[in-house]
Amino acid sequence: MNTLITGSISTTVEAVLINILAAAIAAGLAMVAYIIVFTALDRLTKRTSGIVDNSLVRHAKKPARTIFIILGLLLALPSLTIADDIKVSIERLLSLALTAAVGWLAVNLTKVINDVVAARYNIGVADNLTAREVHTRVRLLQRILAAIVIVITLCLILMAIPGIRQIGVTLFASAGIAGIVGGLAARPALSNLIAGVQLALTQPIRIEDVVIVEGEWGWIEEIRMTFVVVRVWDLRRLIVPLSYFIETPFQNWTRKTADILGTVFLYTDYTVPVQCVRDELHQILKNSELWDGEVWGLQVTNTTEHTLELRALMGARNSGDAWTLRCDVREKLIDFMQREYPEALPRLRGELTGNESPLSLRRDENRATTATP
């Protein structure tokens, strides 16, 4: 009896090992096929200068590897020596995994649109208004398209599972994809999805726009499906819901153009020669590569009982240049006044009266001298 049991166990273990080995060989052959196919595709794309084919191959590599392995296992499954019910269950799991992998591939392929736009519209130039508009619209629409693909993939997976097939059918037949998106957007946590569509169409903000949000000055770094990342000037990241830019007022300094005006305020004494300071400002700007060569000026914008307020105005091609130019102008104007007109710097005047006046002090000093023997 023990011999029979031992022999049966040995046979079972041997069968399991054979099945595992067969599955490993199938997966290995699938990997070899994957490597051959994508090596050939890489060589073909290197011979062309197109953006689309290179992007397609790059984004398809990871999900395609998974698809090749799953297909290899599905092809090897009929030859495995296992029970029919177990074989059916494994086939169903592999089919679900294949559906998910194909959905992953479809989501990745939507990113090809971003690559094509990035190659055609350079966002790194000074006058990048059109490029930022296109980048913003395409990125938002790409993410919405990816979300739709994910929803469809989930529905297909649900429909393939017998126990909950009715849920997937209901999502497709009764509500529909549009109903799903609309219903989810009605929920407070996911209402930003609809705000993303509004932002893509109306574009109150774009990538690399200069904005002031919640009192913070920074750039629009990323526009996601539900939130926006604002890169603050000190490199902090401010995470803002998409709905904020639809419902709340904010400042956009580069809404129409990348050009921006910068200001520098100086506080001086009333004796300052304003025209000399104005001429010096113009000379500083002409010697600066950051000035756009168009807008400049210096005016007295306010007065107090002690000082004059001078406002220097200058134009720059973008917000980064404007910030650096303002700092440079402020430093050089202060250096100019310290060097040429130090008496025109802010002063605090005082007047001595009564017993503390200079005349009274001299009289007291003379009396003390006369009284000394």
Which residues have C-beta within 8 Å of that of residue 273, sequence separation ≥ 6? 341, 344
What fold, for 125-256?
SH3 type barrels. (2.30.30)
Q: Is the pLDDT of residue 173 over 50?
A: yes
Neighbours of 34 (CB within 10 A): 19
Neighbours of 126 (CB within 10 A): 12
pLDDT digits 0-9 by tens, 192-231? 666 666 776 777 888 878 888 988 888 888 888 778 899 9
The residue ranking higher by pLDDT, 43 or 255, is 43
Say if residues 260 and 318 touch (Cβ distance below 8 Å).
yes
The confidence score (pLDDT) of residue 308 equals 92
The confidence score (pLDDT) of residue 59 equals 87
Q: Decide if 125-256 and 260-344 have a common fold.
A: no
Mean pLDDT within 311-324? 86
Query: Whole-number mean pLDDT of the chain?
Result: 79
The confidence score (pLDDT) of residue 185 equals 43
Which residues have C-beta within 8 Å of that of residue 189, sequence separation ≥ 6? none
What fold, for 260-344?
Alpha-Beta Plaits (3.30.70)
The confidence score (pLDDT) of residue 175 equals 47
Q: Is the pLDDT of residue 286 over 90?
A: yes
| φ and ψ at residue 252, rounded to 5 degrees | -120, 105
Please give the helix or strand (H or E) that residue 177 lies within, else none: helix 176-185
Domain ranges of the chain: 1-109, 125-256, 260-344
Q: Is the pLDDT of residue 186 over 50?
A: no
174 CB-contact burial (10 Å; exposed 0-12 / middle 13-18 / buried 19+): exposed
Q: Is the pLDDT of residue 363 over 80?
A: no
